[in-house]
Chains A and B, each alone.
Chain A
Amino acid sequence: MQGPVMPADFLDRFSRGNTVCHRMPARLKIVLTLSVIFVSIVLPASYWPAQGCLACLVFAALSLAEIPIAYLARRILLILPLVLMTALAAPLSHGFASGWETAFGIVFRTLVAFLAALWLVNTTPFDRLLAGLCRLGMPRLFATLLAFVYRYLFVLFDELARMRTAQRARTFGPGPVKTAWKSRVQLVGTLLIRALDRAERVHGAMCARGWRGKMHSLN
């Protein structure tokens, strides 16, 4: 038996801590995070002192928020293949002389941006984050959508995990490749149908409590 595909607190395990960072207003954190990312992108990659300062700033913020290094490292490992592939394209296309520096710049900036974003979501509970984004001018409808994605993404992942377990329980040996792919396709199809059914039930549950098309929030 293997655990859920993605545990429910995968991205924001530490968002309910109580450090200086957690107590900062959400809006301020959003603006700070976006500015760090923006500055890191705008500054030339070759201007190392500034880039280094940014990285130090992000690391200081992460340690202030008491987010464990091991947790961050595991999340970085997940996106690293993607980043490295993109970065490798630079020396291959630009030639090796200047390419390596570009590649290094890509990796460095992506990691700074990624860590800054992790800091944001791990110091701000999601509902506060959404409320903050709304106050900064994000349309409410968009916030509602994001709230639903955040709520049901993991429910769907769990459903997928359960279906896969059930499928494995009745699969004996590897079997022919064609059958394996066929059952994978069926799995996705079933998941889609179940998701649609659930959407209908959720809508019913919303109507049952007086939903008339406008999402209110307590915050």
Chain B
Amino acid sequence: MSHAAVSILKVDHLSYRYPSGQLALCDVSFSVGMHEVVGLVGPNGAGKTTLLLHLNGLLTGTRQAPAGSAAQSGPGADNAPSAPVEVLGMPVVPANFPEVRRIVGFLFQDPDDQLFCPTVRNDVAFGPMNLEFPLDEVVRRVDEALTAVGLADLGERSPRELSFGEKRRVCLAGVLACEPSLLALDEPSSNLDPRARRGVIDILKECAAAKIIASHDLELVLELCGRVLVLDQGRIHADGPALEILADERLMSRHGLEVPLSIRLAARREA
């Protein structure tokens, strides 16, 4: 495929069952190009977080579409089940985890889960240290990442002393310090006040990496993403230009979403 040459992420017929037996992802296929920004929207429990967790191997699904589904697997897909997720052409399998996790940065929803070190600087340094960079390189990356999120003077603080918005930004710094080529962001704007939300959006705009953003904040998706995937009950129901999909009222309401107010207002103004 000529497309593969420019895509950073390829998900191919990915299915995943929770240990409880419930089907969480069903025959999910899409790819993300270099520097592309993709929004992932869908109702609660659609499988957005589960899908993101597959991108760096924290969960590993299977390739085949489950029996009985209407999926069309490519010829030979069933007798040669390989990894359903590829990052820069590398299958996401345990042998490749270190490399894959260097490329894919992951922002978790709850900053308290992601900030586990005693001080902000130590936390931001966690990724680069694990990548075993020399100390001066680690320090450079930490300083750069903290400056990028505007928290250069909070380095010696303990995560407990920060506001929620500051915690979220430190999490981002910790991810950016690894200089990933693909960012997987799980609800980057949840629980933030408008100013903190704006701060996060601006940081994300500055960062050139490809991004896949799972969010209920459709205005944020509209602002940042050129393309949107609609995920509902573990399946992808739509994949296309953000403006087109988010403006499709029937599609939105069928999947528990709504057309962002900005689009509705613009349409009203035109009418």
Contacts from A to B (Cβ < 8 Å) = 8-9, 16, 125-127, 130, 147-148, 150-152, 154-155, 198, 201-202, 204-212, 214, 216-219
Contact = CB atoms under 8 A, between A and B. Distances in A.
Contacts of B148: none
Given A205-B113, A209-B127, A218-B121, A154 B56 contact: no
Contacts of A130: 118
A9 B158 CA distance: 10
Given A127-B118, A218-B138, 16 more contacts: A125-B119, A125-B158, A147-B117, A150-B118, A151-B159, A154-B160, A155-B160, A198-B112, A198-B113, A205-B113, A205-B116, A206-B126, A208-B108, A211-B126, A212-B98, A218-B129
Contacts of B53: 204
B130 A201 contact: no
B238 interface: no
A113 B98 CA distance: 47
Given A208-B56, A208-B101, A127 B116 contact: no
B161 A9 contact: yes
A214 B129 CA distance: 10
Contact of A209 (B126, B139, B158, B161): B126
Contact of B125 (A207, A212, A218): A218
A205 B101 CA distance: 11
A56 B142 CA distance: 44
A210 B102 contact: yes
7 contacts: A147-B116, A155-B112, A204-B53, A208-B101, A208-B106, A209-B174, A217-B122
Interface string B91-131: 00000011001101110101011111111011001110111
Pick the 5 closest A-B CB pairs, nearest first.
A210-B130, A216-B129, A127-B118, A209-B127, A8-B160
A204 B108 CA distance: 9
A50 B107 CA distance: 57
Question: Which has the most chain A C-beta neighbours within 10 Å: B98, B129, B156, B161?
Answer: B129
Contacts of A9: 160-161
B28 interface: no
Contacts of A148: 116
Nearest to B57: A207
B208 interface: no
A206 B122 contact: no
Contacts of A209: 101, 106, 126-127, 130, 174-175, 178
Nearest to A210: B130
B108 A205 contact: yes
Given A147-B117, A151-B117, A210 B122 contact: no
Interface in B56-81: 56, 58
- The binding surface of chain A is classed by DSSP as helix
A9 B118 CA distance: 13
Contact of B156 (A125, A147, A205, A216): A125
Contacts of A211: 126, 130
Given A8-B160, A16-B156, A208 B121 contact: no
Nearest to B135: A218
Contact of B122 (A202, A212, A214, A218): A218
B185 to A, nearest CB: 12
A204 B117 contact: no
A16 B174 CA distance: 23
A155 B108 CA distance: 16
Contacts of A198: 112-113
A214 B130 CA distance: 8
Contacts of A155: 112, 160
Contacts of B102: 210
A148 to B, nearest CB: 7
A219 B102 CA distance: 23
B106 A8 contact: no
Contact of A127 (B122, B127, B175): B122
Nearest to B58: A204
A168 B174 CA distance: 38
B116 A207 contact: no
Given A8-B160, A150-B118, A205 B130 contact: no
B174 A202 contact: no
Contacts of A16: 156
Nearest to B125: A218
A201 B110 contact: yes
